[in-house]
Amino acid sequence: MGPVTTYTEFELVSSLKEQNAQAFGYLYDNYSGALYSIINQIVPDEELASDVLQEVFVNIWRKIESYDQTKGRLFTWMLNIARNLSIDTIRSKAYQNSQKNRELPSSELLMPGGYVLQQVDSIGLKKVLDKLKREYSTLIDLAYFKGYTHEEIAEIENIPLGTVKTRIRTALLQLREHLK
């Protein structure tokens, strides 16, 4: 094995645009872990997240010509590819169908913000969400099951960002009450 090659970002991008396999290997070795952790936050199934990661690298290989260094860093560009593909995956009909009526495996669900939803093992979470007002359940679905940011939800629902945050906080408190 020869000496370990390192690249500046400019050299790496130039080599990738020349379809250099060694540079691509370097890219995978140095960025796959970080990208996988981002993907796995959106796609909770580890096997599916690994498949998404492979597809992300295929897209990077195919689309590297479209990367413009003047518009941002390479990692940010790759992160956007990973995030978009992850969201597309969980929005896909195949994924949605595989998730229907699936009960949560653990007896507790830790929601962002530190809220713990207990006793979820005997009830599907969707049934519990149905107890919430539609304005709350929609936001929880968009934020926690479809991977949207609060900013994106505000845009989608055409409501102020502060309202989105308040409603999500209220919904989580109500969910906790329903599960007691």
4, part of any domain? no
Domain with 88, as residue range(s), is 9-96
For residues 16 and 32, give the distance between their C-alpha atoms in angstroms, rounded to a whole number. Answer: 16
**Overall domain count for the chain:** 2
For residues 151 and 10, give the distance between their C-alpha atoms in angstroms, rounded to a whole number. Answer: 32
The model's pLDDT over 20-44, given as tens digits with 9 standing for 90+, comes to 999 999 999 999 999 998 898 888 8
Q: Which residues contact 103 (CB under 8 A, 6 or more apart)?
A: 120, 121, 122, 123, 124
pTM metric for this prediction: 0.53
* 3-state secondary structure string across 9-68: HHHHHHHHHCCCHHHHHHHHHHHHHHHHHHHHHHCCCHHHHHHHHHHHHHHHHHHHHHCC
The model's pLDDT over 83-110, given as tens digits with 9 standing for 90+, comes to 999 988 988 777 666 666 555 444 344 4
Choose the final residue of a domain: 96, 113, 144.
Answer: 96
Q: What is the CA radius of gyration of the chain?
A: 20
123 and 72 share one domain: no
Choose the final residue of a domain: 47, 66, 96.
Answer: 96
* The residue type at 38: I
Across the range 68-87, mean pLDDT stands at 91
